[in-house]
C-alpha cells in the first residue's frame, strides 16, 4: 500500500494566527520539505497577495523533485494566479455543505456543482493537475458530495480530497466516511483538522478505509487547533501499521525544530515524536529500564526520528540513572558521595525544580568538595529579617561533639548568619571572610545559587563553595566548609587553643 503525503505547512500551516512567512522563509521551508521527501508541497494560495506569489515562484524556480501545488478556490482568477506562479497542480477547493452554501456562498447546490466542473476543466485545459477538494465535506450530504466528485473526475480531476474542516469526525466515523468515498475508485485524500484532538487518529482511520493520500502540517500547525501532525502520522504508519512512505523519518525532528523557529510556534514539551520530552525520562524505574533495554519504556528509538534520549534529574530519579549521568559528565563518586548527591537532587525535586546538567555538575562538585569529615557541623539556622527589622540569625553548631548556640545581627540575613557562626567559633579561632562571591547557576527565580568564599586563619587562606537553591544556606554551608578545611585537623588533634577571654 503506497501512501502519498501532501504537506500544507506553507498554506494551511501559515494560517496559524500570528504566523506570516516571507518569500525567502517559504523557500527555506520548501527546500527542507523537498529533502524530507514529501510527495506534494502546497506552497500557498497564489491569489492571496503579491508576496505570496513571489514566494511560490521562488519555490517553483528551484526545480524541486516534489510536486508543487497552489490552493485555489473554484474561480478562474485563482487558477490564473496559480498558473502565473508555474505550479504543477492546484488544490481546487469548493464548499459542499449546505451550511457553507447557504451562509457563506449563498448559492445553490447546482450552482456550486457547475462552478466546480467549469473550474476543473479550465485548470486541466491549462495544463494543471487538479486535486478537487470538498470543504466541510464531513457535514455535507453524502450523495451530493459524491456527485461533485464524480463530475469533477469526469472533468479531468486526477485526485479528490474530502476535508474535515472543523474536525467533526471520530476515528470510527472517519473509517465509514472515507470508506464510502473510496468506492468512487479515484485517488482519495484525507484532510483532517484537530479541533477535538483527533486529526491524526481520523487521518489514520481514513487511510485504513482506502484513502491513498494524507494532508498534514509539520508540528500540526494550522488555524484554530491546527491540522494533523505530519510527524505523528508518518511514524505511526511506519511503526504501528508497517507502512512506509517516501518521507525520510530521520529528518523529522530537525524539520520540526526548523519550522518552529521560523514560524515562532513552539511546541509543548510533551508533543509526541518531536517534543523535547518525547524521549525524556525521570522516573527511577523507567530510567533504569531504558538504560538496560530502551524498548522497556520507549516504543521507538529517538534516533529513528533524529531525536535524542534525555534523562531528567528530579524527585523521581533513581540512583542507577544518577550514577550513569555522573559518569557521562566525567564525575567519579563513591557510594557515600552518590547518596549525598542523590539526596540533594531529590530535595530540589520536592521543591518543584528539575535539575539540569549544569545544576548537577555544581551539586556534584559541591558534594565532592565537602565530603571530608566535618569537625564543625551545622545543626540549625534561623533567620529573622524584614521591613524595619534588624536582620538577626541564630545558629546551632556541633563542634567536636559539643553543641554551641549563638546569635548575631548584620546588615542582611547572610551577614547576620556569618556573624553568628564567627561568634560560635570565636573561642577557638578568629576566621576572617576575605572574599564572598555569588552566582545563579541557571536562570529563573528557582535557580541554584553558587556561593564561593575565601577565608583566612592566621597565615592560611582557603576557598570553599556551596550550591543550594537558598542563598542563605549556600552562604552558611560555604563558610562552614571553609572553616572545616582551615580548622578541622587542628580541632581534631587539639592544637587549637581556646582564645582567652578579654579582661
Does 55 share its domain with 189?
Answer: yes
Distance CA 189, CA 132 (A): 10
CATH number of domain containing 383: 3.30.160.270
Contact present, 397 and 404 (Cβ < 8 Å):
yes
Distance CA 277, CA 480 (A): 39
* pLDDT at residue 491, rounded to an integer: 63
Does 197 share its domain with 58?
Answer: yes
* pLDDT at residue 46, rounded to an integer: 97
Distance CA 330, CA 361 (A): 10
Parent domain of 333? 281-369
Cell (9 digits) for 423: 561568634
Does 391 share its domain with 358?
Answer: no
Does 127 share its domain with 253?
Answer: yes
State how far the alpha carbon of 463 is from the alpha carbons of 344, 374, 480, in Å. Answer: 22, 16, 11
* pLDDT at residue 500, rounded to an integer: 45
Residue found under cell 512506509: 244
Does 39 share its domain with 177?
Answer: yes
* pLDDT at residue 402, rounded to an integer: 84
Does 168 share its domain with 219?
Answer: yes
Does 404 share its domain with 417?
Answer: yes
Does 224 share its domain with 328?
Answer: no
Contact present, 229 and 199 (Cβ < 8 Å):
yes
Does 343 share its domain with 386?
Answer: no
Does 74 share its domain with 208?
Answer: yes
Q: Angle, nearest 10°, between helix axes 76-85 and 109-125?
A: 30
Distance CA 297, CA 285 (A): 10
* pLDDT at residue 351, rounded to an integer: 61
Burial class (CB in 10 A: 0-12, 13-18, 19+), 183: exposed
pLDDT in tens, 443-468: 666 677 878 888 888 877 777 777 77
Query: Is 502 inside any structural domain?
Result: no
CATH number of domain containing 312: 1.10.238
Q: Which of 236, 263, 290 is the last residue of a domain?
A: 263
Query: Is 501 inside any structural domain?
Result: no
* pLDDT at residue 303, rounded to an integer: 76
* 10-residue stretch averages of pLDDT, the chain, 503 residues long: 95 93 95 98 96 97 97 97 98 95 90 96 98 96 97 98 97 98 97 98 98 98 96 96 96 93 86 78 47 58 74 65 75 84 76 62 69 73 88 89 90 92 86 85 68 83 77 89 76 59 41
Q: Which helix (H) or strand (E) holds 485?
A: helix 471-493
Does 29 share its domain with 165?
Answer: yes
Q: Which of 347, 369, 391 is the last residue of a domain?
A: 369
Concatenate the DSSP letters of all residues of 125-160 into one string: HTT-EEEEEEETGGGS-HHHHHHHHHHHHHTT-SEE
Positive or negative, the Cα torsion across 101, 107, 111, 116?
A: negative
Amino acid at each position: 500500500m503506497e501512501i502519498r503525503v501532501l504537506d500544507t505547512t506553507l498554506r494551511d500551516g501559515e494560517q496559524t494566527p500570528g504566523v506570516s512567512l516571507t518569500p525567502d522563509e517559504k523557500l527555506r521551508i520548501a527546500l527542507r520539505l523537498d529533502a524530507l521527501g514529501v510527495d506534494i508541497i502546497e506552497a500557498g494560495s497564489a491569489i492571496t497577495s503579491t508576496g505570496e506569489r513571489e514566494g511560490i515562484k521562488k519555490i517553483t524556480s528551484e526545480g524541486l523533485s516534489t510536486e508543487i501545488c497552489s490552493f485555489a478556490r473554484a474561480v478562474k482568477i485563482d487558477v490564473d494566479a496559480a498558473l502565473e506562479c508555474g505550479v504543477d497542480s492546484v488544490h481546487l477547493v469548493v464548499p459542499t455543505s449546505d451550511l457553507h452554501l447557504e451562509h457563506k456562498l449563498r448559492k445553490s447546490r447546482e450552482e456550486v456543482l457547475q462552478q466546480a466542473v467549469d473550474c476543473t476543466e479550465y485548470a486541466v485545459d491549462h495544463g494543471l493537475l487538479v486535486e478537487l477538494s470538498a470543504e466541510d465535506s464531513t457535514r455535507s450530504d453524502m450523495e451530493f458530495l459524491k456527485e461533485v466528485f464524480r463530475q469533477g473526475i469526469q472533468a479531468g480531476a486526477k485526485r479528490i480530497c474530502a476535508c474535515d474542516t472543523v474536525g467533526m469526525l471520530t476515528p470510527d466515523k472517519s473509517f465509514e466516511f472515507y470508506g464510502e468515498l473510496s468506492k468512487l475508485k479515484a485517488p482519495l485524500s484525507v484532510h483532517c483538522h484537530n479541533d477535538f484532538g483527533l486529526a491524526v487518529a481520523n487521518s489514520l482511520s481514513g487511510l485504513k478505509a482506502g484513502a491513498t493520500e494524507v494532508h498534514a502540517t509539520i508540528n500540526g500547525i494550522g488555524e484554530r487547533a491546527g491540522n494533523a501532525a505530519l510527524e505523528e502520522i508518518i511514524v505511526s504508519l511506519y511503526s504501528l501499521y508497517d507502512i512506509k512512505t517516501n518521507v525520510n523519518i530521520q529528518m523529522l525532528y530537525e524539520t520540526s525544530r526548523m519550522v518552529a523557529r521560523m514560524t515562532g510556534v513552539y511546541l509543548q514539551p510533551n508533543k509526541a515524536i518531536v517534543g523535547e520530552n518525547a524521549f525524556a525520562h525521570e522516573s527511577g524505574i523507567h530510567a533504569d529500564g531504558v538504560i538496560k533495554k530502551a524498548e522497556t519504556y520507549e516504543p521507538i528509538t529517538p534516533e529513528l526520528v533524529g531525536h535524542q534520549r534525555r534523562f531528567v534529574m528530579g524527585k523521581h530519579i533513581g540512583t542507577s540513572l544518577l550514577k550513569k549521568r555522573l559518569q557521562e559528565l566525567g564525575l567519579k563518586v563513591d557510594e557515600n558521595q552518590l547518596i549525598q548527591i542523590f539526596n540533594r537532587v531529590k530535595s530540589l525535586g520536592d521543591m518543584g525544580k528539575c535539575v539540569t546538567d549544569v545544576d548537577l555538575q555544581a551539586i556534584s562538585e559541591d558534594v565532592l568538595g565537602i565530603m571530608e569529615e566535618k569537625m564543625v557541623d551545622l545543626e540549625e539556622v534561623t533567620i529573622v529579617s524584614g521591613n524595619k527589622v534588624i536582620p538577626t540569625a541564630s545558629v546551632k553548631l556541633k563542634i567536636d561533639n559539643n553543641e554551641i548556640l549563638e546569635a548575631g545581627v548584620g546588615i542582611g540575613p547572610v551577614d547576620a548568619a556569618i556573624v553568628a557562626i564567627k561568634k560560635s567559633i570565636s573561642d577557638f579561632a578568629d576566621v576572617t571572610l576575605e572574599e564572598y562571591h555569588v552566582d545563579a547557576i541557571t536562570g529563573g527565580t528557582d535557580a541554584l545559587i553558587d556561593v564561593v568564599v575565601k577565608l583566612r586563619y592566621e597565615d592560611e587562606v582557603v576557598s570553599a563553595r556551596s550550591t543550594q537553591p537558598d542563598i542563605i544556606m549556600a552562604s552558611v554551608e560555604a563558610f562552614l566548609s571553609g572553616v572545616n578545611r582551615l580548622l578541622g585537623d587542628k580541632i581534631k588533634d587539639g592544637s587549637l587553643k581556646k582564645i582567652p577571654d578579654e579582661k
